[in-house]
Amino acid sequence: MCPPVHFAVEHSINPWMDPSVPVDADRALAQWRALRRTYEGLGHRVDVLEPLLGMPDMVFTANGALVIGERALGARFRAPGRAGEAPAHRRWLTDHGVDVRMPREINEGEGDFAWTGRRILAGSGFRTSPAACTELAEVFDVPVAPLHLVDPRFYHLDTALAVLDDRTIVYYPAAFSDSSQRLLASLYPEAIIATADDALVLGLNAVSDGTHVVLARQAEKLAAQIAERGYVPVPVDVSELLKSGGGVKCATLELHRATTATPAGTAGDR
């Protein structure tokens, strides 16, 4: 995670961002600290990346890489204003023993890549290049399922889909192309389907450890759906980050454990 010390909405690179709407930086920082305490209270370790002056979006660490075990594919941001974040993520990961591969194609890390323990779900359409799927397969040697986003409000995969465990996802179908909806229905016939109301408060921008699901407090119906499936919803308020089109997952880069599976895929730890 990276504290939103310099958080601001100074440009508009997604439909949520309006520089004319005031941002309360102190409130954003308080909400971020509460999110960090939530993870620590659930027994997770939180490592902190030093924020850089002039990088107001750096709080959204999910975009910095995809990390599985001791290997990572670094980010290459589409927006020039975020380009300086990528080297900071690479340095941190390298300093902590991760083999970071330099990207050829544009990708925005876990913003568009979701590791399920069996395969990588890879989103494109607004930020990440479809050609990044080839890089993912080369770097991690696991199956990659390409998904195409069609609604600009759901500009990253992590705004429209969350992985709950190695067999279950939750997603908002209307964010995806028809072919991607068919693929998701085929891969995950028992997926939880989110409503538009919950998707539009970025309720799907959530983090699951397989038992607890940390998600936006405003996504009340989604929390109930998740609880019905046996998971424990953990609501938090990150509404100030929503002014920049971000939420729980955006503010969290997960350091996934590797599997010992062959490319055919078996369940892995998250």
Catalytic residue ranges? 156, 250
CA distance 204 to 198: 7
Type and span of the H or E element at 213 = strand 212-216
Residue 185 tokens read as 């229905």
Q: Encode 109-144: b = buried (16+ Cβ within 10 Å), e = exposed.
A: bbbbbbbbbbbbbbbbbbbbbeebbebbeebbebeb
Amino acid at 251: A
Neighbouring C-beta atoms of residue 213, cutoff 10 Å: 24
Residue type at 227 in one-letter notation? A
Task: Note whether 174 and 149 are within 8 A (CB).
Answer: no
DSSP annotation of 7? -
Contact 5, 71 (CB under 8 A): no
The contacts of residue 15 (CB under 8 Å, 6+ apart) are 152, 153, 155, 245
- Nearest-Å Rg of the Cα atoms of the chain is 17
Calpha distance 1→3 (Å, rounded): 7
How many residues are present in the chain? 270
